[in-house]
Each structure stands twice: as structure tokens, then as C-alpha cells.
Amino acid sequence: MPFSRHHLTGMKGLTREEIETILTTAESLKEISFRDIKKVPTLRGKTVVNFFHEPSTRTRTSFEIAAKRLSADTVSLSAGTSSLVKGETLIDTAKNLEAMGPDVIVIRHSLAGAPHLLSRSVKASIINAGDGMHEHPTQALLDLMTIREKKGTLQGLQVAIIGDIAHSRVARSNIIGLKTMGAQVMVAGPPTMIPPHLDAFGVEVSYQLEEIIPRADVIMMLRVQLERQQQLLFPSLREYSRFFGLHPGNMKKAKKDVIIMHPGPVNRGVELHPDLADGPFSVILDQVTNGVAVRMALLYLLLGGERK
């Protein structure tokens, strides 16, 4: 299946076939990471710029490793080292990068739409590595890959996403990706953290975890950001973890083959009980491993893939 996109700005707009292509490619590239010599020459001579305008450890490292395993040259910029701190606009920084001829610019930005702004002003391929509260497509793709790996299929699965849906780009991208792939999505969390109009998109909304946990094949927990407490979204972490966190108590009625996912970093004891994070249902570290494979697949497909 050919892949003809030049940018990946979000899950929105990707077809089921395109997602299948990315996942299948990732599955076949995954094996490279388990070799003795973890490197293939596929992208030799290509340049990948990791432009991270917001702190990130996992995603940035994952992109860097993915590019290196395919032999691409990588350069990393963060907000602190770029000219953005000197008052240069995002478009100017991007155009300057562009003048040095990179093939891919991976961008993480605290504001929604930044990758779209870039994709309109540069020729290099843009990969969205998370923009504000909008999308985080590579996270969704690695989540889809992990679910498919564990469950065999996505079609017809019941997936529960729990926590701060309103402020989560991971939730948005996953909802879009899961629906496209034929899964059923349920969300739960405090009502202050559930955005309006989700039902219009065919997403089931609940404010009681006990209501959805027994039906879930997959439980995806989201990180709760501590500063949300100041924004009148919940009264205390203690109450949050008790009613909206996942702990052995509310997991009693879960399916025996349920998997627990988390995009990281985990607030242990807040949204996820330590026993569950490290327990047999957890696939959190598989997600990280698959992250490298999915990003290798995307770099490969965006840089020409089978056309080469």
C-alpha cells in the first residue's frame, strides 16, 4: 500500500488504509531494534531535525533513536537553544532551518496548530510530535500498534480512556485513530475534564470508572497535571486518585485479559496505583518500545518509502 503524504500533522484525515500501512511497516521494522547491530542504511544522507519547543524526554529520545537506526543524521533543537528565546518568530526559525536543507522537521510545541503553521511555510516534511492540546499522532500510532500486538485487532474492541480528556492531545489523537480503526471508545473522568460534544463523535462519556472498567478490553490512563488543581478542575489529588485513578479496588471487576496503558510520565499513586503500573496487565514499556518502531516507519514512509 503506497503512502503519499508529505506531512503528518495529526490523526485527523488519515484513512484506515494509511494507518494500516504505518502499523504494518512499524511491525516489520521493529525487529531491527533487537539485532546486535541496530542500524540499517535506509535513510543514509537524510537529515532529521528534532525541534522541541516544549520539554520532552521520551518522545524526543524515541525520534532520535528511530532516525539513527535508519542511518539518518539528526540535529536537536530545544526552546532554550533556538532563537525563539531571542524573539525570532516560529516561521522565521523554521525558514532558517529550511535553508539548511533538512528532509524532516519533527516539531513539539506548546501551542495547537504550530505544525500546521510550519507545514504551510517550509518544504521539508513536518511530523507533529505533540502540539498544545490538539494532537499527538505518533503517540496514538504507537498505542494502536501496541493494542494490535496484544489483541490481534482493533476492530470492535472496547477502549476506555480515563482522566483529563479536555487537556490531552493524546486522548484526541487516540479517539480519532481508534474510531477510524473500528474500535469503540469510552471516556471517563471528572466532568470538568471532559470536553463538550464528545457524544456527537460517537464517544461514550461516563463520570464513574466502575461503570466502564468491567466492559473495557483496553484501559488507557492519562496523566493528570498538577497545576489543573489551581484551575478549579478538581478539589484535591487525594480525591482525584480515589475517584478517578485506577487502583486495585476498582480493577476488581475488570476483564481478565485487560491491558493497561499510559503515555507517561506516570504520576504514581495519583492516576495509577504503583501495583498496577508494574503489574501483569501493564503494557506501558511495550508502548515505549513500539514508539521507536512507529517513528522509524513514519520517517521511512515520509521520506519516500517504496518509491526509492
Query: Residue 76 pairs with which residues in a beta bridge?
Result: 50
Cα–Cα dist 242/158, whole Å = 23
Determine which residue in the list 89, 96, 155, 208 makes contact with other proteins, applying CB under 8 A: 89
* Neighbour tally for 36: CB within 10 Å: 4
43 vs 194 by CB, closer to other proteins: 194
By CB under 8 A, residue 109 contacts other proteins: yes
Which x/- pattern, by CB under 8 A, does the window 135-154 give for other proteins?
x-------------------
Cα–Cα dist 63/71, whole Å = 12
By CB under 8 A, residue 265 contacts other proteins: no
Contact 233, 192 (CB under 8 A): yes
68 vs 179 by CB, closer to other proteins: 179
Q: What is the DSSP letter of 223?
A: P
135 vs 217 by CB, closer to other proteins: 135
Contact 195, 161 (CB under 8 A): no
Applying CB under 8 A, what is the total number of residues that bind other proteins?
24
Cα–Cα dist 264/103, whole Å = 29
By CB under 8 A, residue 108 contacts other proteins: no
Determine which residue in the list 30, 108, 134, 148 makes contact with other proteins, applying CB under 8 A: 134
Determine which residue in the list 19, 22, 49, 90 makes contact with other proteins, applying CB under 8 A: 90
Return the amino acid letter for 58. R
Question: In this structure, are strands 104-109 and 73-78 parallel, antiparallel, or unpaired?
Answer: unpaired
Give min distance, CB of 102 to other proteins, in A.
21
Identify which range of 133-141, 213-221, 242-250, 272-280 contacts other proteins by CB under 8 A.
133-141
Q: Find the DSSP H helices in the chain.
A: 16-29, 58-69, 90-99, 114-121, 137-151, 169-180, 209-212, 237-244, 274-277, 284-302
- Cβ neighbourhood burial of 244 (10 Å; 0-12, 13-18, 19+): buried
Report the SS3 class of residue 171: helix
By CB under 8 A, residue 12 contacts other proteins: yes
Which x/- pattern, by CB under 8 A, does the window 153-182 give for other proteins?
----------------x--x----------
By CB under 8 A, residue 7 contacts other proteins: no
132 vs 214 by CB, closer to other proteins: 132
By CB under 8 A, residue 111 contacts other proteins: yes
Identify which range of 21-29, 126-134, 234-242, 296-304 contacts other proteins by CB under 8 A.
126-134
Report the SS3 class of residue 180: helix
* Neighbour tally for 265: CB within 10 Å: 9
89 vs 155 by CB, closer to other proteins: 89
By CB under 8 A, residue 196 contacts other proteins: yes
Binders of other proteins in range 198-257 (CB under 8 A): 198, 200-201
Residues that bind other proteins (CB under 8 A): 12, 89-91, 109, 111-114, 116-117, 131-135, 169, 172, 195-198, 200-201
